[in-house]
Amino acid sequence: AQSVTQPDIHITVSEGASLELRCNYSYGATPYLFWYVQSPGQGLQLLLKYFSGDTLVQGIKGFEAEFKRSQSSFNLRKPSVHWSDAAEYFCAVGSYSGGGADGLTFGKGTHLIIQP
Amino acid sequence: DAGITQSPRHKVTETGTPVTLRCHQTENHRYMYWYRQDPGHGLRLIHYSYGVKDTDKGEVSDGYSVSRSKTEDFLLTLESATSSQTSVYFCAISEARSDEQYFGPGTRLTVT
C-alpha cells in the first residue's frame, strides 16, 4: 500500500522568505502526486499535480514542486511567502495501478505559520 | 471552483442515531469520494463511487455505507453513529480515475 510522509508538522517562516515543504512517498509504480492547501474552516484547494513528464511542476499562487524519483520526494517550494499563505498543506499520492482503492492517500499535513 | 455542495454543513447528533450526509455535484464527473479528516491523520478515504450504483470501500469504511442513484448525488450514511465518527467529512469529485480531485466545503459532524 502506498503511504505519504510529511516530516514537518509545523513550519514557521518570515514573510518574504523562501519556503520548502517536504513530502516523501512510498509507492510501487509511477506515482501521481498532488499538493493541496486548506485554509481554516475551508475545503482543500489543488495547488499543483505531477503525472509525468517534466519533474518541475508549476502551480497556482506562485508555488512549484519537484519530483525526485531517486529520493521518493515531491517537495513544495515558494520563493517568497505572503501572510496569506498561512494554511495547512497536504501532499497526496494517487493509487491508479490496479488493486486497492481508487482515491488519494494523504500525508498528515504541515501547518505553515507566517511571521510578520 | 468546482460545483460541489455538501449538506448539512454542520450537524450534532446522538450516539446510536442514523445520519446521512449528502454530496451534490454539477460537474457531471464520474468519480465521487468521501473522506474524513481528523487531527493528526490527514484525510482518509471512506468510500468512493465510479459510476451510478457502482461503489467500493476505502481505507476506513467500517460503520459507513454509501449510495449513488444519480450521477450528481453521493450519499454517506452512518447507520448508528458513534463518538469515534465525530469528524469533518469531505466529498470530492474527479472526471476520470487518474485526474485530480476537487473537494467540497466539508460537513462537521459531532456525535455526542
pLDDT in tens, chain A (116 residues): 788 999 999 999 999 999 999 999 987 677 889 999 999 888 899 999 998 888 999 999 999 999 999 999 999 999 999 999 999 999 999 866 555 557 788 999 999 999 99
pLDDT-derived band of residue B76, with 50, 70 and 90 as boundaries?
A: very high
Task: Inform me whether the C-beta atom of residue A99 falls under 8 Å from chain B C-beta atoms.
Answer: no
User: Looking at CA atoms only, how far is residue A31 from chain B in angstroms?
Assistant: 10
Chain B residues touching residue A92 (CB < 8 angstroms): 43
pLDDT of B2 higher than 80: no
Q: Tell which of B1, B32, B43, B50 to mutate to test the A interface (max A CBs under 10 Å).
A: B43
CA atoms within 13 A on the CB side of A36: 25
DSSP label at residue B81: -
Using an 8 Å Cβ cutoff, are B34 and B48 in contact?
A: yes
User: Looking at CA atoms only, how far is residue B82 from chain A in angstroms?
Assistant: 23
What is the C-alpha separation between B76 and B38, in angstroms, rounded?
17
**Strands across the sheet with B19-25, in order?**
B4-7, B19-25, B73-78, B64-70
Chain A residues touching residue B102 (CB < 8 angstroms): 46
Using an 8 Å Cβ cutoff, are A102 and A95 in contact?
A: yes
What is the full DSSP assignment across A19-75?
EEE--EEE-SS--EEEEEEE-TT--EEEEEEE-SS-SEEE-GGG-EEEEEGGGTEEE
User: Looking at CA atoms only, how far is residue A14 from chain B in angstroms?
Assistant: 25
pLDDT at A107: 94
Chain B residues touching residue A109 (CB < 8 angstroms): 42
pLDDT at A96: 62
pLDDT of B97 higher than 80: no
pLDDT-derived band of residue B72, with 50, 70 and 90 as boundaries?
A: very high
User: Looking at CA atoms only, how far is residue A83 from chain B in angstroms?
Assistant: 22
Partners of B107 in beta bridges: B89
The end-to-end CA distance of chain B, in Å, is: 34
C-beta atoms of B102 and A34 within 8 A: no
CB-nearest to A96 from B33, B98, B105 is B98
